[in-house]
Structure 1
Amino acid sequence: MPPATAVTASRLPATAWRDWRSWPDSLANLWRRSLRFRTILITLALTALAILVACIWMALAIQNDLFQARKDQVLRDSLRATQAAQATLDAAAVQGDTVQIQNLWNSVRTTLAERSSTDMIAAFRIDREPSQLAPQNFTTPGLTEEVISDGMHEAVQSDAAQQWWQSVELPLADGPVPGIIVGQQLTVPDVGGYELYLAYDLDSASQTLGFVQTTLWIVGISLVVLIGAISWFVLRSVTIPIGEAADTSAKLAAGELGVRLPVRGEDELATLGRSFNAMADSIESQIKELADLSLVQQRFVSDVSHELRTPLTTIRLAADMINDHREDFDPSTARAAELLNAQVQRFETLLTDLLEISRYDAGSVQLELEPTSLAHLAEDVIGSMHQLAEQHGTDVRLVAPGGYSPVEMDPRRVRRIVRNLLGNAIEHGEGRPIVITVDSDQQSVALGVRDFGLGMTQQDAERVFDRFWRADPSRTRTIGGTGLGLSIALGDARLHGGELAVWSDLGRGSNFVLTLPRHGGVLTAPSPIRADPGDDSGAALDDFGLTQPIQIPSGDMPADAATRGSGS
């Protein structure tokens, strides 16, 4: 086994690599979320670009000016030395004497050294024919014939009166340096023309240019840092109030109506703070008024519901008694007694629902939890509504692969949900079969009520849980609904921490799915039953096996049933 240090060393690069790969995402998030970072980055980028362009332009301009000034100085110096050397040659009378010519040539070299500011001098005879009179070519260290290009030789040889120059790299002892070679012709009496070259190094100008460029870059970087710091301080004075406004707005949106912005000074930000606080005061006042009005409405509904129960009880007793003796009345009076009894029952149901709604609005609803099997509860509800289903010619079947294990729930409220869903399915199912599915998994239990009736559009399905809303207002209720059942059912489901979903399609029917968490809290996983059945009306009947009777166990599922599918 390798030592621990080796393992640690092998992990460090991977960690560093993961951290490095996360930098772009972190910068992207900071770019999207931070106004200060985004503004400073844009300011620094534009400032750096402007300073870079300015520094490059200034460096190039200074470089050109330095070179031009040095070149003009070199040309003047070379011309002065060359003219002095030619004057020395023209004033001499050698008369074909080799010794005199050589002495004259030495004088020319001395004149060139004294009159020029360089010690790199070379001379080459233009006529390459052997001659006893012609002085020897000469070169000095740093200026050899290899440094002079063939083009320079040709240019100097082509015109005796013209001065020529060329930028070259001079091989000095300390290393190569930039330089300029100036070439011109000299005419030696009784011998002919010579190519005269003087080389000048530009090392001092190069050092000056380097110093200037370094200074420019230091100043440029310092300006970028300084502008960045100034931008940060300026933006900080602006973004801090904006951040405070954002935090205060978030708290206000979360329901903390008492929060306000601190107001400092008399500038635009102070005006914004005062306007924001005035808006918050107005919103708080209006919300309090609406809350008080809602509380009054809730109390009114609750009080009216309670107050109406006493006279309604008397009316209900009278209506029941009249209805019991309707056979002694004439047909029209008997029918009136039946209608009176039915409407009184509906009125009583409506008062009960209104009272329940008022409890939800007031937040005073409490659950009475006890272990309950959802499958057995659904079976009981189906049995209690068997007569209603027969009246509508509807066959109700239960498919329960799971949901037998007891789950903590309020059985009265869950039973009310199932009764409401089944009653709506019977009323709108057009006499077609209704399938109630119960299933479960480790996180939740679910019950689905599927009918194959007319169905609803997507827009109607989104409003089906609204109070007193009806998909078809012209359609009469056949089982005395109040229009509050689904709204109460949704409230009961959410009170358990569950959800009530709906799927519906015109011509294919509807499917309501109630999902409750097994262990309280809120749902964190998909429901064991899908809201969208994903089938058509004809195929669904065969898929559910409605041609065969379905046996519902009277006790808990066998121990091995918990491992089948999603059931438990």
Structure 2
Amino acid sequence: MTLRLRLLLAFAFLSVVTAVAVAGAGYVRSRDAIVQRAQDNAVIETTNRVEQLYPLPARPPDAASLERIAGKVSGREGMALARARGVSAGSMDPSVITPELQSLVSSGQVGWQRVPYAGAVWLVVGMQMRVSGGGSSGIEVYVLRPFTSEIEVVDELARNAWLIGGAGLVLALGMGFLAARGVLRPVRDLRMAAWRLGQGDLSARVPVRGRDELAAVATTFNSTAASLEHHVGELRRMEADARRFVADVSHELRTPLAAMTAVTDVLDAETAALPGVAGQAARLVNRETQNLTRLVNDLIEVTRFDSGTAALALDDVDVAEVVSRTLRMRGFEVSATLPPDVRARLDPRRLDVIVANLVGNALRHGAPPVSVRLSVEESSLVIEVADSGPGLPEDVLPHVFARFYKADSARGRSEGSGLGLAIAWENARLHGGTLVAGNRPGGGALFTLRLPLGGER
């Protein structure tokens, strides 16, 4: 449920409760007052009319005298009934007199009761007529008068109460909508700014309105975003400087390394003629020069990826032929399953780099036999490189393609540059493919390369 809907429901609930409490209480009090006043007036009016008949004649009442009494007390709108000693007379229907009212009147009290009659509500008032000495005359008088006007007033009160409650509800919903709009606008601005910040737009800011709590939150967000923008800018600047430094140093090292490589190649050709220690030193210098050259070349390749200048030279190639040439040129002794006539549009040089790094890593850190398998799954080219070693530990898998990552920090320097798997992963990503590391169920590491056959990126 949205915050706007919750606010509207809260205002609606509050207005309903308030309307019910105020209008309901006012309706009940007004209704009771109207009904009570109407009943009191009816009792007083009936009593006055009965008193106008005093003094009563001394003779026992007959039907004619009871008819006269009923006619005097009935009034213009009502009907009356007078009865004594089993004789009754008048225009009122005796069936509307309830046993409760009759018992109350028989005890000498004045009673009244609302009863349904002729499809409406009527009021029955009953009392005994007294003789001059205060005793009972034995005559009971009942007056039935309509209660229609009072009921209409009460109904009008009920309608007004409903109208007031409905108007209050509409007003509360309108106020709730305006309040929700005013409260949620800063929240919506904050959400949009946070989304933009998450998408990398560090210039996202929230307009500050007023001096309430939401304004304080907006101010805090803006200061945090400004601080984040500053620190990220500094980090980016430092990272750009570091990349530029690595690129510059790598390029500067290529010229002296070329000279050193030429010299070490000459020394390597003469190592057989050199005495023992000198020959070992010459071979060591040649090997380390080759490692340094490989490291510099890998660093230059990484800087191309980081700067976004690495590009594909796509061509329609026979994948089995490219992989076979890679294995043959480097002298890798592996088991290869390379079905013919698998063609794909890709960069053959970068595929050569990927396969060489994967197989070289398997031979250095795994155990033979190492296998390379080529297959096609739907619209993807799949190359799997597996070894028979102990496999990759679970804590190493998330970092296996990180630059210069070592599974064992105590492990000495290896022959590789520490960038081979990272470069293979970048080349796979450049093709729009994936490179995933895992373990085979029977043991050993498994690297799976997937590239689109059509060269899509």
Same fold (TM over 0.5): yes
Q: Deviations over 1:399-452 (max 9, x none)?
A: 75xx95422211111221122122222223323x33433333443222222333
C-alpha separation in 2, matches of 1:234 and 1:454: 65
Out of 110, 124, 128, the position equivalent to 1:181 is 124
1:166-205 CA distances to partner (integer Å, 9 max, x unpaired)? 331121xxxx12233223344799x973443222332222
Give RMSD over aligned pairs. Answer: 3.3
Q: Are 2:171 and 1:226 aligned? A: yes
Partner Cα distance (1:517, 1:153) in 2: 102
Which residue matches 2:95?
Answer: 146
Question: Is the CA contact 2:63–2:89 (under 8 Å) kept in the aligned structure 1?
Answer: no
- Local SS of the residue matching 1:440: strand
Please give the alpha-carbon distance, in whole angstroms, between the structure 2 residues aligned to 1:357 and 1:413.
13
Partner of 2:73: 112
Contact 2:326 2:352 survives alignment (8 Å): yes
Q: Which among 390, 401, 414 is matched to residue 454 of structure 1?
A: 390
Summarize deviations over 1:516-548 as a string: whole Å, max 9, x none. 2234545xxxxxxxxxxxxxxxxxxxxxxxxxx
CA contact (8 A) 1:126 1:195 kept: no
| Displacement of 1:234 | 4.0
SS for the counterpart of 2:94 is: coil
Does 1:503 pair with 2:438?
Answer: yes
Q: Give the corresponding residue for 2:419.
A: 484
Is 1:424–2:371 an aligned residue pair? no
Moved more, 507-516 or 461-470: 507-516
Q: Is the 8 A contact 1:455 1:506 kept in 2?
A: no
The aligned residue for residue 351 of structure 1 is: 296
Match of 1:392 in 2: none
Q: How many angstroms apart in 2 are the aligned matches of 1:195 and 1:511?
A: 112
Counterparts of 1:349 and 1:184 in 2: how far apart (Å)? 124
Q: Deviations over 1:284-318 (max 9, x none)?
A: 34333333322222221111111111111122222
**1:192/1:50 Cα in 2 relative to 1: closer, same or farther (>3 Å)?**
closer
Residues 343-385 of structure 1, C-alpha deviation per residue, up to 9 Å, x if partnerless? 2111111101111111111111111111134444334434445
- 1:418 is matched by which residue type in structure 2? V
Deviation at 1:125, TM superposition (A): 4.4
Change (3 A) 1:181 1:510: farther
2:366–2:388: 8 Å Cα contact kept in structure 1? yes
CA contact (8 A) 1:450 1:512 kept: yes
Mapped pair 1:62 → 2:23:
no
Residue type at the aligned position of 1:112: V
The answer for the alignment partner of 2:257 in structure 1 is: 312
The Cα of 1:266 is off from its aligned counterpart by 7.1
- TM-superposed CA distance for 1:270, in Å, is 6.4
- Find the aligned partners of 1:382 and 1:493 in 2 and give their Cα distance: 19
Counterparts of 2:362 and 2:297 in 1: how far apart (Å)? 22
Pairing of 1:82-97 with structure 2 (within 5 A): 82-85=50-53, 87-89=54-56, 92-94=57-59
Report the CA distance shift for 1:327/1:220 in structure 2 as closer, same or farther (over 3 A): same
Amino acid at match of 2:337: L
Q: Structure 1: 5+ residue runs without aligned partners?
A: 1-27, 128-135, 390-394, 523-568
Deviation at 1:282, TM superposition (A): 3.9
Shift of 1:151: 4.1
Aligned positions of 1:2-81 closer than 5 A? 28=1, 31=2, 35-81=3-49
Q: 1:505, CA displacement in angstroms?
A: 7.6
Query: For the Cα contact (< 8 Å) 1:84–1:112, is it kept in 2?
Result: no
Q: Give 2:110's match in structure 1, choosing from 145, 163, 186.
A: 163
Using the TM superposition, name which of 365-374 and 246-255 deviates more.
246-255
Residue 477 of structure 1 deviates from its aligned partner by 6.2
Q: Contact 2:128 / 2:137 at 8 angstroms: preserved in 1?
A: no
Structure 1 residue 281 displacement after superposition:
4.2
> Secondary structure of 1:66's match?
helix
Counterpart CA distance in 2 for 1:105 and 1:88 is 14
Match of 1:288 among 233, 250, 267: 233
SS of residue matched to 2:82 = strand
Q: Are the counterparts in 2 of residues 379 and 398 from structure 1 also a CA contact under 8 Å?
A: no
Q: Could you say what secondary structure the match of 2:96 adopts? A: coil
Partner residue of 1:137 out of 88, 91, 97: 88
Structure-2 separation of matches of 1:285 and 1:102: 111
SS in 2 for 1:138: strand
- Report the CA distance between 1:460 and its aligned residue: 1.2
Please give the residue correspondences for 1:162-311 in structure 2 after superposition, counting only pairs within 5 Å. 162-171=109-118, 176-186=119-129, 193-262=138-207, 276-311=221-256
Fraction of identical pairs, as percent: 28
Tell me, in whole angstroms, the C-alpha distance in 2 between the residues paired with 1:336 and 1:505: 41
Q: Distance in 1 between matches of 2:238 and 2:85?
A: 116
> 2:274 is matched with which residue?
329
Give the C-alpha shift of residue 272 in structure 1: 6.0
2: CA distance, partners of 1:126 / 1:187: 15
- C-alpha distance in structure 2 between counterparts of 1:184 and 1:293, whole Å: 107
Residue 495 of structure 1: how far off its partner (Å): 1.0
Residue 463 (structure 1) shift: 1.0
Say which SS state the counterpart of residue 438 (structure 1) adopts.
strand
**Cα separation, 2, equivalents of 1:225 and 1:520:** 63
Work out the CA distance in 1 between the residues paired with 2:141 and 2:455.
105
Change beyond 3 A, Cα 1:333–1:52: farther
Amino acid corresponding to residue 220 of structure 1 in structure 2: G
Change (3 A) 1:285 1:187: closer
In structure 1, distance between residues paired with 2:16 and 2:341: 72
Structure 2: give runs of 5+ residues left out of the alignment. Answer: none
Contact 1:458 1:504 in 2 (8 A): no
Normalising by structure 1, what TM-score? 0.71
Residues 1:294 and 1:181: Cα distance change in structure 2 (over 3 Å):
same
Equivalents in 1 of 2:304, 2:49: separation in Å?
115
Paired residues of 1:121 and 1:199 also in contact (CA < 8 A): yes
Q: CA deviation at 1:489?
A: 1.3
* SS of 1:465 mapped into structure 2: coil
Give the match for residue 472 of structure 1: 408
- Cα distance, 1:102–1:286 mapped onto 2, change above 3 Å: closer
State the one-letter code of the partner of 2:395: Q
1:77-120 CA deviation, whole Å, 9 max, x = no partner? 344444545x343xx133x6xxx844432432233135xx7522
Measured in 2, the distance between the counterparts of 1:404 and 1:76 equals: 117
Distance 1:262 1:195 in 2: 85
Report the secondary structure of 1:71's partner residue.
Answer: helix
Q: How far does residue 465 in structure 1 lie from its aligned partner after superposition?
A: 1.2
Q: Give secondary structure in 1 for the equivalent of 2:88.
A: coil
Matched, 1:412 2:349: yes
Q: Deviations over 1:485-505 (max 9, x none)?
A: 111111111111112122238
- Asked if structure 2 preserves the Cα contact closer than 8 Å seen for 1:118 and 1:198, the reply is no
Cα 1:228–1:336, aligned 2, differ >3 Å: closer, same or farther?
same
- Residues 70 and 82 of structure 2 are in contact (CA less than 8 Å); yes or no, is this contact kept in structure 1? no
Equivalence for 2:335: 396
